[in-house]
Amino acid sequence: MSSPIRASRCRARRILVTGGAGFIGSHLCERLLARGDEVLCVDNFYTGSRENLHGLLDHPDFELLRHDITFPLYVEVDQIYNLACPASPVHYQFDPVQTTKTSVHGSINMLGLAKRVRARILQASTSEVYGDPEIHPQSEHYWGHVNPVGRRSCYDEGKRCAETLFFDYHRQHGLEIKVARIFNTYGPRMHPDDGRVVSNFIVQALRDEPITVYGDGAQSRAFCYVDELVDGLMRLMDAEASITGPLNLGNPAEFTIMELAQKVIALTGSRSRIVRRPLPPDDPRQRRPDITLARTLLDWQPQIALDEGLRRAIPYFERLVTRGGLAPAGAAAA
């Protein structure tokens, strides 16, 4: 009789995670390894870091490859999670042409790879495909309200084109695809300087610096804790082939940005005050996922409330702030 270790190794799949050194990608790599898969993490370290993979680098089933997915990649894998793409407005607007290339050329390269090795491939799409939505909450049937020539377009339209490519490879080449539309996700390993609202507010609060609310703070978002999002991605990938998506993954509990600021101040015991800053162009006014499909098809439903998730995330940022060396929070924004 084979040992349990041998048996589990026989079942091990070789899984490529692009963008695996980023915030969500590093959590995904960790979970896949814990499940017994072999993981090939590909990243160009544009926003990700080796530090995010601390603890995985010595794992015998983990391999890290520095590579930009806008260039072809030749590897043998069973599944591909395509997460490579900067996700924070500050970073994706820094080099917008590269952002579009990553979504479009990168997807073509990863789809070509999937086609050659007959791998199942999942695209990390985004709620940004809905733009500044005219219907609320957003369901997968809604086609969106996106400015094609604005500052967010490199990200929004790049991700929309990637979805088109995924579905055309599916229809034209019979590829097994999965498209997840991820809503705002937060947790440990978010880049402290990347300008996203949760990381900005926590770091500002921990330093008793002003909390920068853009606009009047009445715009809303729905925040999902990273562990639950990763669980949703893995369920979607492993669901039967007919479940292609697009599928919303996010926590439907909706908060205004002002409410988030107040929660962060309360949970950190901060002396920070709230200050107003101009609202960035094309900033969506409201966002909340309709997750009926994910609930029905994947039996997936986030359980971690925002307060609890923030409590889990804050110690990570506390360690960074205590260690020092961070640029002033939000410095990269504006």
Q: Of these, 113, 247, 257, 313, which contacts ligand UDP (CB under 6 A)?
A: 257
Strand partners, 275: 212
Whether 316 is catalytic: no
Task: Provide the 3-class DSSP secondary structure of residue 237.
Answer: helix
Instruction: In whole angstroms, give the CA distance from residue 207 to residue 230.
Output: 30
What is the DSSP-derived secondary structure letter of residue 44?
A: -
Using the minimum distance from each CB to ligand UDP, give the nearer residue, 177 or 333. Answer: 333
Q: How far is the CB of 8 from ligand NAD (least distance, A)?
A: 28
How deeply is 121 buried, as exposed, middle or buried, from its count of CB atoms within 10 A (0-12, 13-18, 19+)? Answer: buried
User: What's the alpha-carbon Rg for the chain, to the nearest Å?
Assistant: 19
Instruction: In whole angstroms, give the CA distance from residue 56 to residue 17.
Output: 13
User: Of ligand NAD, ligand UDP, none, which one does residue 114 interact with (CB within 5 to 8 Å by kind)?
Assistant: none
Q: How far is the CB of 1 from ligand NAD (least distance, A)?
A: 42
Q: Which of residues 282-321 bind ligand UDP (CB under 6 A)?
A: 283
Q: How far is the CB of 75 from ligand NAD (least distance, A)?
A: 13
Q: Which of residues 111-140 bind ligand NAD (CB under 6 A)?
A: 124, 126
Residue 42, interface with ligand UDP (CB under 6 A)? no
Residue from 178, 181, 188, 263 nearest 225 by CA:
188
Residue 86, interface with ligand NAD (CB under 6 A)? yes
Residue 212, interface with ligand UDP (CB under 6 A)? yes
Instruction: In whole angstroms, give the CA distance from residue 205 to residue 199.
Output: 10
**Angle 194-284-207 from CA coordinates, rounded to 5°:** 35
User: Of ligand NAD, ligand UDP, none, which one does residue 85 interact with (CB within 5 to 8 Å by kind)?
Assistant: ligand NAD
CA-CA-CA-CA dihedral for 214, 216, 139, 175, to nearest 10: -10
Q: Which of 46, 155, 169, 225 is catalytic?
A: 155
Hunting for tokens 């979504």 — which residue is that?
Answer: 103
Residue 23, interface with ligand NAD (CB under 6 A)? yes
Catalytic center residues: 155
**Footprint of ligand NAD on this chain (CB under 6 A)?**
18-19, 21-25, 43-48, 68-70, 83-87, 102, 106, 124, 126, 182, 184-185, 191
**Footprint of ligand UDP on this chain (CB under 6 A)?**
88-89, 184, 195-197, 200, 212-214, 219, 221, 257, 279-280, 283, 330, 333
